[in-house]
């Protein structure tokens, strides 16, 4: 029987990414993500719980996350769940911890208007985030709902007939 191990998370970084290198010079970055869940309990009270998840990324992904992500930034990650085990130095007992090994990620827009970009293993280059001084232009306000605009505008030289409609 086949197995499936896929984790998809959207959350905020709990700390700045920490970069290190393996003995073969492969970059590794570790960071934490906080994911919130809002719900209504049995007494009708609105509640919120937060799950803190440790994540690890390798290679080019690690370099990009280290360069463009900071504490508080929102990140969408896809990966697989791993179990790390080790010997406790103080008591000598076995310890373990689940973490997510990142396979793909997406930088999410910042509240100040920057953001975007992402990385999948087959991407060649990530789009850098915009600095706060280069914010995206504001969107125009939507028209009032009670105003009648009539027919949609068409180019004078373009006319539609029943043969142009694909259905």
pLDDT digits (tens, 9 = 90+) for 73-83: 999 999 999 99
Containing H/E element for 119? Answer: strand 118-119
Instruction: Kindly report, residue by residue over 93-102, the tens digit of the pLDDT.
Output: 888 999 999 9
C-alpha to C-alpha distance for 50 and 37, rounded to whole angstroms:
6
Which of the four pLDDT bands, split at 50, 70 and 90, describes residue 25? very high
CATH class as words, domain 7-129: mainly beta
pLDDT value of position 162:
57
Whether residue 50 has pLDDT greater than 80: yes
65/19 Cα distance (integer angstroms): 9
| This prediction's pTM | 0.63
Predicted confidence band at 128 (pLDDT cuts at 50, 70, 90)? very low
80 in helix, strand or coil?
A: strand
């Amino acid at each position: 029987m086949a197995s499936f191990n896929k984790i998809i998370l959207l959350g905020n970084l709990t700390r700045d990414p920490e970069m290190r290198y393996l003995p073969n010079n492969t970059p590794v970055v570790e960071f934490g993500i906080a994911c919130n869940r809002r719900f209504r309990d049995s007494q009708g009270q609105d509640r919120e719980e937060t799950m803190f998840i440790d994540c690890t990324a390798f290679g080019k992904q690690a370099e990009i996350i280290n360069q463009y992500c900071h504490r508080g930034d929102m990140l969408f990650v896809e990966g697989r769940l791993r179990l790390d085990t080790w010997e406790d130095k103080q008591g000598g007992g076995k310890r373990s911890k689940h973490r997510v090994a990142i396979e793909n990620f997406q930088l999410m827009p910042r509240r100040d208007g920057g953001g975007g970009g992402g990385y999948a293993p087959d991407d060649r280059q990530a789009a850098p985030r915009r600095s706060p001084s280069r914010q995206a232009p504001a969107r125009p306000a939507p028209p009032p709902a009670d105003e009648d605009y009539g027919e949609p505008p068409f180019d004078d030289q373009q006319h539609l007939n029943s043969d142009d409609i694909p259905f």
